[in-house]
Each structure stands twice: as structure tokens, then as C-alpha cells.
């Protein structure tokens, strides 16, 4: 029921903030030299896990287990270690978390990293909590109740004027994509090919052939979760990545949907003007997100109940 979901939301929000505080303190200790980076490679030298990832995941996992022992738990580090019962998302109540999204940024002490906590029903994220402690940003969303920044600012932000969105008016958009961690020389994992696809998309939408305008910029933050939050805010217009896991996107998808944006697990349709955006299905590796479309009165997004 709505009341039970609200209770779970309150619990998840507090959990996200406490876990965010753990990240904040670990980063501060590293800045002062008190804590050494203790990183281990997973698939390759860019796919790393730090002691902080593991400590924060253990804290989140334990807290959920104590409060909701019957819920499923899917966490990035538990999965990597092979201790998750089943990493695939099924229809039962499931927590899908990334204790530290943007681990490479954390390793370099670049501030774009966060805790990402999602709660799913029927394989759909209905609660999303994202806490980026060094940016002082906490994003939260509850199905049918909207998406919020720091608890008080409703998303999307009410730009004035609301910038136009591709493809009707591509002029002035910001595109964001991620490089991922796969460095193998295979079609699906080839970094250069991924970036080429993205840049082509940006160029097409940006109106190279007189379609009316240039993109303002292409960004790559290093955290898929934060990318989705920024599309939810309206700070980014489009985000694309071909190589995500469920925990990289689950919370961000809830945020984006509650902010009126669209996300799909498909390649961009050839004709984005008329093609319907297929519904998102967790478990794909490829995601495309588009922020809320403003209407002619300048309103953005749907309003939550």
C-alpha cells in the first residue's frame, strides 16, 4: 500500500544519507592522508573496487536485512563476489543498490560519486535514493509522488525559459554519455565505437545539415546514476550508455521517470520525431534517457499526484 511504500521510502532515504556520510568521511580521510586507497581490480584495471565500496555495501545490506529480512537484495559488490542469491531482478520486492557509483572518481578524489539505492516492485524501481555527499546533493523519488533535490526542490528544475529538446529543436542541448569499463576490442565493448556512435547521434540531433543548431556540449561524469539524476533535473538533455548493470541505473530511472523524463533500453530510434519510446526493462546493458519535454506554456514534466 501507499503507507507501506512511504515507510520504505523514509527508511531508504535515511539509509542513503547515512551511507553518503560514510563516503564523505572516507574521502576526507583520504584527503588528509589518514586513509590509503585500497583498491582491487575486477575485470580489468579500470574496473576497480575499493574497501570503501565494500564497507558501505555491507552496511546497507545489513541494515536492509535487519529491517526487511524477506526482501531480495542485489548489490554490485555482493554480486561481484558471487554471494548475491541471484543478481537478476525478478518480480518480488527487491533492493538494488550500488554503494559507490563512480568508484574511479572516488579513487581520484573527483567529487562525482554517490550512493545509489533503489527499491523495486514487479521489476520496476518505485523508490530511488541517490546521495552525492561531496556535491551536497541528495536526490529522492517515490512512485507517483515526484522527484526531489535535497527534499525541497521539485524536479525537473523550472528553467526559465525551459530549453528546447531534441529532435524538434536540438539547438543548445547538452548530451551526456559514459565510457564504461569494457576495453576489449569487440563490437559491443569497443570504446572508440561507443563514443563514435554517441558523437554521431549528437551531431545528427545537433543539426549538422541545417536541422537548426549545434549541441552546447558533450559530458561524461563517470557516474551513470548521477547522469540520470542530472537528466531528471533538466541539467542534461540526453544520456546514453551501452554497458550498464542494474545497480548503475535503477535508482536514477525512478528519479527520471518521476521527473517526467523518458528512459529506454534500446538504441535511439532512427526517427526520434515520431517513434514511440519503448518502456524500460531492467537487465539491458544499453540505456537512453531523455529529459522531460516542456509544453507550449513552458511547463515541464508531469505533475505527481
Task: Supply the minimum distance, in Å, between the C-beta of residue 46 and ligand IPD.
Answer: 9
Task: Supply the minimum distance, in Å, between the C-beta of residue 222 and ligand IPD.
Answer: 5
Binding stretches for ligand IPD (CB under 6 A): 76, 98, 100-103, 178-181, 222-224, 241, 243-244, 248
d(CA 249, CA 254): 9
Task: Supply the minimum distance, in Å, between the C-beta of residue 36 and ligand IPD.
Answer: 19
d(CA 8, CA 263): 24
Task: Supply the minimum distance, in Å, between the C-beta of residue 196 and ligand IPD.
Answer: 16
Cβ distance to ligand IPD smaller for residue 8 or 57: 57
Helix, strand, or coil here: 115?
Answer: strand
Terminal-residue alpha carbon distance, the chain: 15
- Length of the chain (residues): 305
Cβ distance to ligand IPD smaller for residue 41 or 90: 41
Cβ distance to ligand IPD smaller for residue 8 or 19: 19
The β-bridge relationship of strands 217-219 and 39-41 is unpaired
Cβ distance to ligand IPD smaller for residue 99 or 234: 99
Which residue, chain included where needed, has cell 521527473? 259
194-221 burial code (b ≥16 CB/10 A, e <16): bbebbeebbbbbbbeeeeebebeebebb
The three grid cell numbers given for residue 105, joined into one nine-digit string:
572518481
Task: Supply the minimum distance, in Å, between the C-beta of residue 97 and ligand IPD.
Answer: 10
Cβ distance to ligand IPD smaller for residue 133 or 222: 222
Amino acid at each position: 500500500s501507499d503507507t507501506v511504500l512511504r515507510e520504505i521510502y523514509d527508511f531508504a532515504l535515511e539509509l542513503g544519507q547515512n551511507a553518503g556520510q560514510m563516503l564523505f568521511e572516507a574521502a576526507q580521510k583520504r584527503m588528509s592522508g589518514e586513509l590509503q586507497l585500497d583498491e582491487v581490480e575486477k575485470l580489468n584495471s579500470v574496473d576497480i573496487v575499493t574497501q570503501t565500496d565494500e564497507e558501505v555495501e555491507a552496511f546497507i545490506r545489513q541494515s536492509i536485512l535487519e529491517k526487511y529480512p524477506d526482501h531480495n537484495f542485489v548489490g554490485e559488490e555482493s554480486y561481484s563476489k558471487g554471494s548475491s542469491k541471484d543478481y537478476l531482478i525478478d518480480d518480488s520486492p527487491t533492493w538494488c543498490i550500488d554503494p559507490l557509483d563512480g568508484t574511479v572518481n572516488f579513487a581520484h578524489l573527483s567529487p562525482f560519486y554517490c550512493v545509489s539505492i533503489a527499491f523495486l516492485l514487479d521489476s520496476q524501481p518505485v523508490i530511488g535514493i541517490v546521495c552525492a555527499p561531496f556535491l551536497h546533493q541528495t536526490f529522492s523519488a517515490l512512485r507517483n509522488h515526484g522527484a526531489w533535490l535535497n527534499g525541497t526542490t521539485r524536479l525537473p528544475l523550472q528553467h526559465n525559459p525551459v530549453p528546447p529538446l531534441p529532435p524538434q529543436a536540438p539547438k543548445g542541448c547538452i548530451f551526456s554519455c559514459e565510457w564504461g569499463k569494457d576495453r576489449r576490442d569487440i563490437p559491443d565493448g569497443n570504446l572508440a565505437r561507443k563514443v563514435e556512435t554517441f558523437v554521431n547521434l549528437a551531431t545528427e540531433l545537433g543539426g549538422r545539415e541545417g536541422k537548426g543548431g549545434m549541441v552546447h556540449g558533450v559530458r561524461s561524469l563517470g557516474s551513470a546514476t548521477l547522469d540520470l539524476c542530472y537528466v531528471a533535473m533538466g541539467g542534461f538533455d540526453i544520456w546514453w550508455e551501452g554497458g550498464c548493470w542494474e545497480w548503475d541505473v535503477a535508482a536514477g530511472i525512478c528519479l527520471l521517470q518521476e521527473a517526467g523524463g523518458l528512459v529506454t533500453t534500446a538504441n535511439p530510434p532512427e526517427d526520434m520525431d515520431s517513434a514511440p519510446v519503448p518502456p524500460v526493462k531492467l537487465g539491458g546493458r544499453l540505456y537512453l534517457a531523455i529529459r522531460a519535454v516542456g509544453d507550449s506554456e513552458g511547463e515541464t514534466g508531469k505533475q505527481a499526484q
